[in-house]
Amino acid sequence: MIKTKHTPAHPDGTPSRERGLEEVRLRQQAIGVKLRHMFDEVVNEPVPDEFLEILRRADQASSAKEGQ
């Protein structure tokens, strides 16, 4: 006789494994939404003036070297 593993069904008839996979998908989707939201917030933050000054000086030093 061949024995098969029986996956108990949820009262709604959905096998446990399918429910588990759906829960994983939903969690991954929620994580993705949160990460996109956080990324958008960081991208839209203003650049500090001190950092812009550092970039300006680096550009000027680079331009001066190319002009020699």
Please state the φ and ψ torsions of residue 10, each to the nearest 5 degrees. Answer: -70, 155
pTM: 0.49
Q: Which residues contact 15 (CB under 8 A, 6 or more apart)?
A: 7, 8, 9
Could you state, in order of their start, the residue ranges of all structural domains in the chain? 18-67
36 vs 5, which has greater pLDDT?
A: 36
> What pLDDT is attached to residue 65?
81
- Per-residue pLDDT of 9-61, as tens digits, reads 556 666 788 889 999 999 999 999 999 999 999 999 999 999 999 999 999 99
Q: What pLDDT, on the 0 to 100 scale, is given for residue 3? A: 56
With contact defined as beta carbons under 8 Å apart, do 50 and 58 qualify? no
